[in-house]
Amino acid sequence: MADARDDQIFGLVKTLCELPGPVGHEDAVQDWIANRWGGFCEEVRRTRVGNVLAKVGGNGPRLLLLGHADEICFMVKSISDDGFLHLWPYYGDLRGYPPRWIMPLNQPALVVTSHGTVEGFFATASGHVVGGRDKPDFRYEWNDWFVDVGAASREEAESLGIHPGVRVIWNPLTRRLGGARIVGKAMDDRAALAIATLAGEALASRGDLAYELWLGSTVQEENGLLGAQSVIDALDVDLCVNLDVGLLGDIPGPDARDFPSKLGSGPIAVYQDSSCHYSWRLTDHLVTIGRERGIPVQQAVFQNFGSDAAALLRRGVEVALLAYPTRYTHSPIETVDEGDIRACVNLLVACATTNY
């Protein structure tokens, strides 16, 4: 039985995850964030590249709670004569074919044009019509995947605002699974923006902030932490707690010796990943606050992972990474746990009211 707070978390996560925010075209997410944060913040800034920075209030060292607005996506590279959209990934591809970690086939698709969105599906030819190609060494090529928007011709697709350069995301609805799990697209990193929003709202009315507290939502994290690189030019930050997905070993496949963290066991304080070493002092501080308040906190190091915090570290900011446990990262079924989300909010509220 969900209580009112659970519904608040689920509703906010669902709203944020279902907004379209492909890398480089995060406008719908940033518009929503600027509007919502404007309701309880003293000031909201939108930078030249599209980052949103909002002052919650308080005095003292500047503390920034940071998430990213963008989600992984595909780029339309051409449209066939009969109206199918051919794709490349959002990143610079060095393999020449799709990797194991990205699989959009048979998912609902949403094409994000300059003037609106167009629904479709990620498709490939089925075994009935190309069965003979299914050799033991079969692998998909980029051109085996395409998007069908129901158009009968290139002209019809173009009339919908589609052209080379527009983006496509997978587009499932966000759902509850079991008692406390939430499944959908873009938990990376909209669940972080939900956490920052709930923490900011809880802190806005309090008179005991230990910092001048800011919230931030960056663009273009997924393609190299690009939006975060100019945050410091818009706001001179002392400390940053970055929020992002946390890697888990509690499903069939990964080795629990490599990934000891579990879903539902609390936020993960990350000490190091492929992009940087986080401040051990600030990370320990988060863990200590959690222990003192009875909030479970896991501790980890991540391979094959990076975060916006590394971009701020390069510019002289002391940074920590607080991750919420997430299964099936970079897929249409990213899975989080309401209890972990609530624990992240509670830990950040405690952190923002505790001197460091």
Pick the closer one to Zn ion by CB: 188 or 340.
188
Pick the closer one to Zn ion by CB: 171 or 326.
326
Phi, psi of 55 (to 5 degrees): -90, 115
- Which of 26, 70, 188, 318 touches Zn ion (CB under 5 A)? 188
Phi, psi of 336 (to 5 degrees): -125, 175
Mark residues 114-153: x for contact with Zn ion by CB under 5 A, - for none.
----------------------------------------
Pick the closer one to Zn ion by CB: 85 or 323.
323
The least distance separating Zn ion from the CB of residue 330, rounded to whole angstroms, comes to: 9
Footprint on residues 194-253 left by Zn ion (CB under 5 A): 244
- Which of 189, 201, 212, 340 touches Zn ion (CB under 5 A)? 189
Instruction: Let me know: does 67 contact 197? Beta carbons within 8 Å.
Output: no
Q: How many residues make contact with Zn ion (CB under 5 A)?
A: 3
Pick the closer one to Zn ion by CB: 189 or 212.
189
Contacting range for Zn ion; rule: CB under 5 A; set: 168-176, 185-193, 199-207, 310-318: 185-193
The least distance separating Zn ion from the CB of residue 192, rounded to whole angstroms, comes to: 7
Collect all residues with Cβ–Cβ distance below 8 Å to 118 and sequence separation of at least 6.
Answer: 110, 111, 149, 160, 161, 162
The least distance separating Zn ion from the CB of residue 106, rounded to whole angstroms, comes to: 24
Under the binding rule (CB under 5 A), the answer on residue 334 touching Zn ion is no
The least distance separating Zn ion from the CB of residue 276, rounded to whole angstroms, comes to: 14
Taking the C-alpha atoms of residue 107 and residue 229, their distance in angstroms, rounded to an integer, is 33
Contacting range for Zn ion; rule: CB under 5 A; set: 51-59, 136-144, 181-189, 293-301: 181-189
Taking the C-alpha atoms of residue 28 and residue 13, their distance in angstroms, rounded to an integer, is 15
The least distance separating Zn ion from the CB of residue 190, rounded to whole angstroms, comes to: 9
Pick the closer one to Zn ion by CB: 244 or 340.
244
The least distance separating Zn ion from the CB of residue 159, rounded to whole angstroms, comes to: 35
Contacting range for Zn ion; rule: CB under 5 A; set: 135-143, 187-195, 261-269, 347-355: 187-195
Pick the closer one to Zn ion by CB: 26 or 244.
244
Instruction: Let me know: does 295 contact 266? Beta carbons within 8 Å.
Output: yes
The least distance separating Zn ion from the CB of residue 304, rounded to whole angstroms, comes to: 13
The least distance separating Zn ion from the CB of residue 59, rounded to whole angstroms, comes to: 31
The least distance separating Zn ion from the CB of residue 17, rounded to whole angstroms, comes to: 13
Pick the closer one to Zn ion by CB: 188 or 318.
188
Q: Which residues bind Zn ion (CB under 5 A)?
A: 188-189, 244
